[in-house]
Amino acid sequence: MTRPTREVDVLVVGAGPAGLAAAARLAAAGIARVDVLDREQHAGGVPRHCRHGGFGTWTHPLTGPAYARLLHTAAVRAGAVVRTGTTALDWAGPLALDTVGPQGLETVRARAVVLATGARERPRAARLVPGTRPDGVYTTGELQQAVHLYGQRIGTRAVVVGAESVSYAAADTVRAAGAQVVAMVTELPVSQTTAVRAHDARLRHRVPLLTDTTVTELLGHGRLSGVRVRHRDGRSVQLACDTVVFTGDFVPDHELARRGRLELDPGTRGPAVDGALHTSRPGVFAAGSLLHPVESAATATRDGVRVAAAVLESLAGAERPRHTVPLLVEPPLRWIAPNRVAPGDGHPYVLRTSALSKRPVLQVVQDGRVLHEERLRAAVPNRTLTLTAGWTRLVDPAGGPVRVTLTGR
Amino acid sequence: MTVTLNGPLPSGSYDVAVVGAGVVGCAIARELARRPRLRVALVEAQDDVGQGTSKANTAILHTGFDAVPGSLEARLVREGARRLAAYAGESGIAVEPVGALLVAWDEEQRAALPHLAEKAVRNEYRATRLIEPAELYEREPHLGPGALGALHVPGESIVCPWTTTLAYATQAVRHGVDLHLNSPVSDVNWHDGEHVLSTARGTLRTRRLVNAAGLHADTLDRHLGHRDFTVTPRRGQLIVFDKLARDLVHHILLPVPTARGKGVLVTPTVYGNLLLGPTAEDLDDKRATGSTAEGLALLRESGARILPALLDEEVTAVYAGLRAATEQDDYRITAHPEQAYVTVGGIRSTGLTASLAIASHVTALLADMGLDPGPARDLEPVRMPNLGETHPRPHRNARRVAADPEYGSLVCHCEGVSRGEIRDALASTVPPRNLDGLRRRTRARAGRCQGFYCGAAVRELFEGAGA
Ligand SMILES: Cc1cc2nc3c(=O)[nH]c(=O)nc-3n(C[C@H](O)[C@H](O)[C@H](O)COP(=O)(O)OP(=O)(O)OC[C@H]3O[C@@H](n4cnc5c(N)ncnc54)[C@H](O)[C@@H]3O)c2cc1C
Ligand SMILES: Cc1cc2nc3c(=O)[nH]c(=O)nc-3n(C[C@H](O)[C@H](O)[C@H](O)COP(=O)(O)OP(=O)(O)OC[C@H]3O[C@@H](n4cnc5c(N)ncnc54)[C@H](O)[C@@H]3O)c2cc1C
């Protein structure tokens, strides 16, 4: 039985903020057949289950679900077709994907493909946290869906692993489910969210923050009975709890990118892209958390807008860029996105560091030539660093890789 | 079809009761089900079959090439491998005949290879072949540097251990065996030609008893006055790597056993992952199925040598199983005719492979001690869902999706599990009692995201079914 084939102009995989924003722009610009597919039953991506504020704009603050609806409506109004419950399984050609949904199996051929498949948190196993395998172990994503989308019960006493913004969101969800946050635990010496948020958790909700502390073992048969933690100084204690949430430590959902043998960036583990979000395969673009696991939804939405512009140029027959060179980071920097650069790329870059430093200096160098230097206020792990793009016109497209370093105290 | 979970156990006397619904106990129950005249009970402490050692092994269908020649284990593994391969074919249990390479990393190991080849011949396995480094690296280009050669054992395969246990149990129950779950046996009294088992759900009477209690076979034995052996739990910790790592190897990469121990292997699984492990740690706690920081560090160190690229891949799961080691390097299968009792103990690291052969060996022992089994019948074949990566899952089958759209509606994205498969599992002969049981039947929540995307949805389906 051969699969029916559908022809579209642009196929967008993933109906999160990045995919929906791209589709809305493309359809509004007059592209006739823009298909967005998502394997979930509802469009919107991660914001669907972030039932808290922090989305939208300063003037128009929104909850996650409201933001998801807004983007979905905008895409549909512009004329894009959003097909939910439909999974892109694998490539069927350079610009074609096999899909499946309740309506059956299909091959979708496109003139351009946008991958916007998002990211997930590394679960307990991937972090190699030893111990037994009891019930009650979550990531933020699973926790939020359980509580906000399905109204499921969780335990009564939870430990939250991580102290970045998403960890505080997880703590809020634990409380929304009527449970107590026993402690938040971070290996770093400080929390990695805003001072207001950290104080609020500690003072108003009386959540202890254990810094310089590692979860070394999960305990309990059947249901979780506790976690063992160790402080950097060697002290070890057991925290009694029936729920533990592993937060942060994001990794892109890059299965399609890998199956398609797109070039990946070793830092982000997402597809390597240039400033226009082209991947290594002509006609295939990428956007959102797949490229920078994870930035704010607003950043994903901006990516969507940016990728739409590049797709439009490409459909209009523009030559694929211009020569690009790799953009590499050195430790303590973990990754930068985009991670290939051409002279004149105009959008800022986002980066992540693994070490805390005050007033550090970002330096951009190509073949020993300093292209740019800028002093930052601070660099905190798990928080966004931004590098402006003014220097890209100095890049020699025939030169070696461009390196970004961070030096500081 | 009888599976009971709670309430008192039936009052009448059974002809045979098998204690322990691991892969071995289920295989024995299935074999007994071929005798329609027998009334058979399978009694299990936990709320599902296969929740002991049988759920946590390396899932290799061994040829038995390196068993101790002449041992009972050697014979039963050899026979069992043949039988299980055939049974898997007719039942939909995933098997992949990938073959194994025993890789030598130093002179001592290289020197051992010819001896292993001879030992294989003594175990009636003649297909091994020594291969030189050049061919080895051609077959396995991602192998770490420094390998000095290998022994190729083409007959080694990988198999799905979960479906195997479940297929036996399903077939046994469909042919009249009573499966009593949640029934830990705490004591046994033998008098007037009858065993009276004390369980958490009351007493169960039987004229003949088979002890297939795995790690606890020695305890049950002691209730009947036997002190033939002691089970030492030997822990094996394992790391499961992402499916995207699957192409890094083509064979099971076995370590060469030396005086210093058995070593760590790298093997594909039928689900398309790679496994790294196991460790071998003698413990005294039969519940110590946790992983440890030292164990995982040791595995990563070995993995880095065998297949350096492996460590760049994402880890999907970590687990540990306990082998039922005893004082002897062989199975401890003993008939006690005076008590109408058979002990099936010490089924250590090959019980999955040998299960069907153990079952017929045990039924023969029962017959020897006077059980009149009556006429035999052929069992109706079972068709289990095939969980293998090389077998098209329902959502890849256009005809099935067209006939039943629930198979096109994916719930667990990482593993491609559809709502239809979850529905089917919940309605099956031996249904899952918890999410882990559902995972072993469908692979839902077993993938790389471990529930980030699907956890809540799968729980909803499970709880919605009123399970
Ligand atoms: C727990 C959590 C809390 C957060 N809180 C905030 C916050 O408070 N404020 C904020 O600004 N940002 C927040 N973020 C970040 C924000 O949600 C992300 O930046 C944003 O959702 C990224 O959008 P995206 O479109 O790239 O990916 P996603 O939103 O992840 O969407 C990707 C979509 O692709 C689909 N998909 C993947 N693979 C396939 C396939 N093969 N076939 C079909 N569909 C596929 C998925 O189902 C998903 O719907 C949070 C993130 C997380 C994980
Ligand atoms: C790390 C590891 C790797 C392995 N690799 C392989 C391999 O690659 N190939 C292979 O063929 N084999 C392998 N094995 C061995 C194989 O898994 C075992 O031999 C097999 O699972 C043993 O099955 P069993 O039924 O005897 O025991 P179990 O599966 O442990 O079943 C015993 C059952 O008895 C029940 N029980 C115990 N006491 C009582 C009681 N008092 N009352 C009621 N019920 C009771 C338990 O709950 C349990 O369900 C491996 C084992 C380990 C640990």
Rounded distance, CA A207 to CA A187, Å? Answer: 16
Expressed in angstroms and rounded, the spacing between residue B343 Cα and the centre of ligand 2 is 14
Percent of chain B topping pLDDT 70: 99
Expressed in angstroms and rounded, the spacing between residue A48 Cα and the centre of ligand 1 is 9
- Report the gap between the CA of A189 and the closest CA in chain B (Å): 23
Q: How confident is the model at residue B464 (pLDDT cuts 50, 70, 90)?
A: confident
pLDDT per residue over A106-129, tens digit each? 999 999 999 999 999 999 999 999
- Nearest Cα to Cα of residue A242 among A172, A152, A128, A153: A153
Rounded distance, CA A370 to CA A363, Å? Answer: 7
Q: How confident is the model at residue A142 (pLDDT cuts 50, 70, 90)?
A: very high
For chain A, the average pLDDT equals: 96
The DSSP-derived string for A103-143 is TEEEEEE-SEEEE---EEE--TGGGT--B---B-EEEHHHH
The DSSP-derived string for B327-359 is SSSS-EEEEEGGGTEEEEE---SSHHHHHHHHH
pLDDT at A58 over 90: no
User: In terms of DSSP bridges, do strands A385-387 and B149-153 run parallel, antiparallel, or are they unpaired?
Assistant: unpaired
Rounded distance, CA B116 to CA A53, Å? Answer: 66
Segment A31-60 shows an average pLDDT of 93
- Nearest Cα to Cα of residue B345 among B336, A175, B300: B336
Rounded distance, CA A200 to CA B409, Å? Answer: 42
pLDDT of residue B467: 47
Find out whether A296 and A327 touch, Cβ atoms under 8 Å: no
- Judged by a CB distance cut-off of 8 A, whether residue A120 touches chain B is yes
- Judged by a CB distance cut-off of 8 A, whether residue B315 touches chain A is yes
- Judged by a CB distance cut-off of 8 A, whether residue B396 touches chain A is yes
Contact A123 B449 (CB under 8 A): yes
- Judged by a CB distance cut-off of 8 A, whether residue B451 touches chain A is yes
- Say yes or no: CB of residue B20 within 6 Å of ligand 2: yes
pLDDT of residue A53: 81
Give every strand in the sheet of A236-240, ordered side by side.
A213-219, A226-231, A236-240
Residue type, B249: V
B191 assigned to active site: no
At A202, phi and psi to the nearest 5? Answer: -75, -45
Rounded distance, CA A150 to CA B337, Å? Answer: 57
A370-390 burial: b if 16+ Cβ within 10 Å, else e:
ebbeeebeebbbbeebebebe
DSSP letter for A146, please.
Answer: I
How far out from the chain centre does Cα B282 lie?
A: 20
Contact A258 B292 (CB under 8 A): no
User: How many CA atoms are closer than 13 Å to the CA of B242, on its beta-carbon side?
Assistant: 21
Q: Which residues from chain B sit within 8 angstroms of residue A152, using beta carbons?
A: 456, 459-460, 463
Q: Tokens representing A319?
A: 């030559």
pLDDT at A322 over 50: yes
pLDDT of residue B466: 59
Find out whether A243 and A220 touch, Cβ atoms under 8 Å: no
Segment B326-343 shows an average pLDDT of 97
Considering only the C-alpha atoms of chain A, give the largest distance between any 2 of them, rounded to a whole number of Å.
Answer: 64
Q: CA A228, A229, A230: angle at the middle one, nearest 5? A: 130
How far out from the chain centre does Cα A8 lie?
A: 27
Minimal Cβ distance to A258: which of B244, B291, B435: B244
pLDDT per residue over B265-322, tens digit each? 999 999 999 999 999 999 999 999 999 999 999 999 999 999 999 999 999 999 999 9
pLDDT at B151 over 90: yes
Minimal Cα distance from A251: which residue of B?
B314
How far out from the chain centre does Cα A27 lie?
A: 25
pLDDT of residue B257: 86
How far out from the chain centre does Cα A333 lie?
A: 17
pLDDT at A328 over 80: yes
User: In terms of DSSP bridges, do strands A119-121 and A112-115 run parallel, antiparallel, or are they unpaired?
Assistant: unpaired
In this structure, the dihedral spanned by the alpha carbons of residues A355, A360, A366 and A369, taken in order and rounded to 10 degrees, is: -150
pLDDT per residue over A8-26, tens digit each? 999 999 999 999 999 999 9
The answer to whether the predicted template modeling score (pTM) of the entire model surpasses 0.95 is yes
Rounded distance, CA B108 to CA B269, Å? Answer: 29
Q: How confident is the model at residue A173 (pLDDT cuts 50, 70, 90)?
A: very high
- Judged by a CB distance cut-off of 8 A, whether residue B452 touches chain A is yes
Find out whether B415 and B450 touch, Cβ atoms under 8 Å: no
pLDDT of residue A2: 72
Return all residues near B116 (Cβ < 8 A) that are at least 6 apart.
B65, B66, B102, B128, B151, B256
Rounded distance, CA B66 to CA B153, Å? Answer: 10
Q: Which residues from chain B sit within 8 angstroms of residue A150, using beta carbons?
A: 456-457, 459-460
Q: How confident is the model at residue A3 (pLDDT cuts 50, 70, 90)?
A: confident
- Nearest Cα to Cα of residue B465 among B438, B439, B436: B438
- Report the gap between the CA of A370 and the closest CA in chain B (Å): 32
Which of A17-31, A49-63, B411-425 is the least confident region?
A: A49-63
pLDDT of residue B258: 75
For A395, the 3-state DSSP assignment is coil
At B220, phi and psi to the nearest 5? Answer: -65, -40
Considering only the C-alpha atoms of chain B, give the largest distance between any 2 of them, rounded to a whole number of Å.
Answer: 68
- Nearest Cα to Cα of residue B94 among B330, B327, B294, B268: B268
The DSSP-derived string for A196-227 is HHHHIIIIIS---EE-SEEEEEEE-SSB--EE
pLDDT at A1 over 60: no
Find out whether A100 and A108 touch, Cβ atoms under 8 Å: no
Segment B221-244 shows an average pLDDT of 97
Segment B213-220 shows an average pLDDT of 98
- Say yes or no: CB of residue B184 within 6 Å of ligand 2: yes
Rounded distance, CA B349 to CA B342, Å? Answer: 20
Asked if omega into B8 is within 30° of 0 (cis), the reply is no
The residue with tokens 């709502």 is B419
pLDDT at A408 over 90: no
Segment B354-365 shows an average pLDDT of 98
Rounded distance, CA A162 to CA A178, Å? Answer: 20
- Report the gap between the CA of B430 and the closest CA in chain A (Å): 21
Expressed in angstroms and rounded, the spacing between residue B456 Cα and the centre of ligand 1 is 16
